[in-house]
Amino acid sequence: MTNPSESHVVYTEDLEPSSSQVTAASNEDVRVVASSDRDEIPKPTPAPSPKGTANGKRQRTLFDVLGSAPSQGSDKPSKKPKLAGSGSGKTPAAAGTQSFGVGGSAGLQALNSIPFSSTEYTASLNEDQKRLLKLECETMGKSWLKVLKDEIKKPYFISLKEFLWKEGVRGPDDSEHDLKVYPAPRNIYSWSNYTPLGKVRVVMIGQDPYHGPGQAHGLCFSVPSGVPAPPSLKNIYAEIKAEYGDFVPPKHGNLTAWAEAGVLMLNTCLTVRARTAGSHQGKGWEQFTDRVVDAVDRYGGANLGEKSGVGRGVVFLAWGSWAAKRVAKLSKTKHLILSSAHPSPLSARKGFFGNGHFRKANDWLEERYGPDGRVDWCRLDPVI
């Protein structure tokens, strides 16, 4: 049974980013059922239950002015590809790992042939790097770590980790309850374990993790067992129902099944301070997750279909102006980029409802990778 106070929970991703406005959550009631994750190694740690933490009060958060993202038809041709090595765009990185950029994959080393040893990599770090990068070395999915291993040693990322160290995020066993930073450290990179790089076929882009107790578990739009489904996710379910009439919206909000099916659910910032939306923005996460998107540009779908070893394109679901900006640089011929308003209750009727994105995504995936390339959007097994 739904706790009456849960109807007042507000989720950051249900609100478009804003400069100074404050809003309360919608009064929409939500129901919860227990569910279970089917994890890949390393296994993300379930978030603690939020039961008893709401106290019947509304959470309040900052958000930006709502606005629809540019429609797909208004996309302009992508610019000439640039390397994204050191941040200046002038210095190429090591072949096969850090030469991420926008465009083709000619001369790119096949993903599965990139050599990587976790033990050797850790041994190559200096003592300060070992201290600060312990979380990445122990919890980031290896298919991602081997192509981001040089990125996480860059000065901006080390500065980010110094900031998080001061916030109390130091190792995989730190507790989010004690830290008041979400998600739990072990779950910060859960997206990289549920969805290996070569199996990515769809990318959903969020903004901040949810900033309430027990809400975030490392997958944008998703919540763990026992947490009310966010209003934006309920709108996503409604759109799937409109496109696939047989779909029965689940009574939970755990999207692990999609992640395991190749849907990368990536927040632009991977951490947030408790009850403080946007508190970890501008610290370096945006640059890092841009490199994650670049990695998908090069290797997303590498192990799908004919398994070419390099990316042949994926679907990006860019809902809201914030997400649209993150994918603006990508090739519109290599990838299918679907843009619309955000599914937040504040904007869903401005272009999200009726966008047909789930069927469009599957039609494109089937054409590119065959019938096995499709995503079963209707399969969301309850997590026990």
Q: What is the pLDDT of residue 94?
A: 36
262 contacts 203 by C-beta, under 8 angstroms = no
335 contacts 315 by C-beta, under 8 angstroms = yes
Instruction: Tell me whether the omega of the peptide bond preceding residue 231 falls within 30 degrees of 0, making it cis.
Output: no
Q: What is the pLDDT of residue 106?
A: 62
Instruction: Tell me whether the omega of the peptide bond preceding residue 42 falls within 30 degrees of 0, making it cis.
Output: yes
- In the chain, the amino acid numbered 69 is A
The alpha carbon dihedral of 291, 292, 293, 299 has a sign of positive
Angle 50-55-60 from CA coordinates, rounded to 5°? 85
Q: What is the pLDDT of residue 131?
A: 96
User: Known catalytic residues?
Assistant: 208
Q: What is the pLDDT of residue 63?
A: 39
The one-digit pLDDT tens for each residue of the chain (384 residues) are 444 333 334 443 444 444 333 333 333 333 322 333 333 334 454 544 444 443 434 444 433 434 444 444 434 444 444 433 333 333 333 333 333 344 455 678 999 999 999 999 999 999 999 999 999 999 999 999 999 999 999 999 999 999 999 998 988 887 766 778 999 999 999 999 999 999 999 999 999 998 988 899 999 999 997 888 889 999 999 999 999 999 999 989 999 999 999 999 999 999 999 989 889 999 999 999 999 999 999 999 999 988 889 999 999 999 999 899 999 999 999 999 999 999 999 999 999 999 999 999 999 999 999 999 999 999 998 655
176 contacts 191 by C-beta, under 8 angstroms = no
- In the chain, the amino acid numbered 180 is K
The structure tokens listed for 19 are 């400069």
The alpha carbon dihedral of 75, 321, 228, 267 has a sign of positive
Q: CA 208 to CA 216: how far, in whole Å? A: 9
Q: What is the pLDDT of residue 89?
A: 36
Query: Among candidates 198, 197, 170, 200, which has minimal Cα distance to 186?
Result: 170
Angle 361-364-366 from CA coordinates, rounded to 5°? 105
**H-only helix segments in 301-377:** 321-326, 357-369
**H-only helix segments in the chain:** 118-124, 127-132, 134-139, 142-148, 155-167, 176-179, 190-194, 231-243, 256-260, 285-299, 321-326, 357-369
Q: CA 343 to CA 240: how far, in whole Å? A: 12
Enumerate domains of the chain plus CATH numbers: 4-373 (3.40.470.10)
What DSSP designation does 68 have?
A: P
Q: CA 306 to CA 110: how far, in whole Å? A: 13
The alpha carbon dihedral of 16, 22, 26, 32 has a sign of positive
Q: Which residues touch 68 (CB under 8 Å, ≥6 apart)?
A: 320, 321, 340, 341, 347, 350, 351
